[in-house]
């Protein structure tokens, strides 16, 4: 999948979980520091990524992903 397209889908998922406009989310936004995710929302994000992309993520590794850019790379590695 094209990186640009993957990035848009990631942002859409994040916006959905954190209840915000995808436009507000920058490419390298930190889920906690920039977007204000709490610990519960971090878990929700992992679940939402799995559902959106039809994949199963290693939860520990997934939770250490902190930014949109990291999430894009991380998910891309599962889609290869």
Partner 1 sequence: MKKNIKVNLDKIFYPDSIAVVGANKVVGTVPYDILRNILDADFNGVVYPVSPRERFIAGIKAYKYVSDIPDPVDLAILVFPSSVTHLALEQCGQKGIKGVIIISAGFKEVGGEGIEREKRVKEIADKYGMSIIGPNCLGVINTDARSKINASFARRMPEEGTIAFLSQSGALCTAVLDYAYAKHIGFSKFISFGNKADVTEIDLLYYLKDDPKTKVILMYLEEITDGPGLMKAARTVIRAGKPILILKAGRTPEGALAAASHTGSMAGNDEICDAAFRQAGIIRCQNVEEMFNIAIAFAYQPMPKSNRIAIITNAGGPGVLATDAAIHEGLELAKFSEETLSMLKKNLPATANIKNPVDIIGDARVDRYNVALTAAFNEPSVDAVFTILTPQSMTEIDLIAREIAKVAHHSEKPIYASFMGEADVSQGIDVLQRNKIPHYFLPESMCRAFAIVYQFSQTRHNVPTTIPTYEDINAPYVEEMITHTISMGKQFLTEDESIRLLKAYGFPVLKTALATTVDEAIQKAEDIGFPVVMKVVSDKIIHKSEAGGVILNLQNKTEVTEAFHTILENVKKFNPTASVKGILIEKMILDGEEVILGLKRDKSFGPILMFGLGGIYVEIFKDVSFRIAPLTEHDAKAMIEETRASAILHGIRGRKPRDVEKIIECLLRLSQLAVNHPSIEEMDINPLIVQPKGMGAYVADVRIILKRE
Tokens of 51: 């559902």
State phi, psi for 60 to the nearest 5 degrees: -60, -45
35 vs 57, which CB is nearer to partner 1? 35
* Contact residue for partner 1 among 6, 34, 47, 70 (CB under 8 A): 34
- Asked if 16 is part of the footprint of partner 1 (rule: CB under 8 A), the reply reads no
In the residue annotation, 28 being an active-site residue is answered as no
Report d(CA 6, CA 66) in Å as an integer. Answer: 17
Contact 48, 65 (CB under 8 A): no
Report d(CA 56, CA 31) in Å as an integer. Answer: 20
Using the contact rule CB under 8 A, the part of the chain among 1-9, 35-43, 50-58, 68-76 near partner 1 is 35-43
6 vs 20, which CB is nearer to partner 1? 20
Helix (H) or strand (E) holding 13: helix 3-18
- Asked if 33 is part of the footprint of partner 1 (rule: CB under 8 A), the reply reads yes
Which spans of this chain sit near partner 1 (rule: CB under 8 A)?
18, 20, 30, 32-36, 38-39, 66
């Amino acid at each position: 999948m094209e990186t640009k397209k993957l990035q848009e889908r990631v942002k859409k998922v994040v916006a959905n979980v954190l209840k915000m406009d995808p436009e507000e989310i920058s490419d390298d936004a930190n889920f906690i520091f920039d977007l204000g995710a709490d610990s519960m929302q971090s878990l929700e994000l992992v679940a939402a990524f799995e559902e959106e992309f039809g994949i199963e993520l290693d939860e520990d590794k997934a939770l250490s992903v902190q930014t949109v850019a990291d999430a894009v790379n991380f998910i891309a590695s599962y889609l290869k």
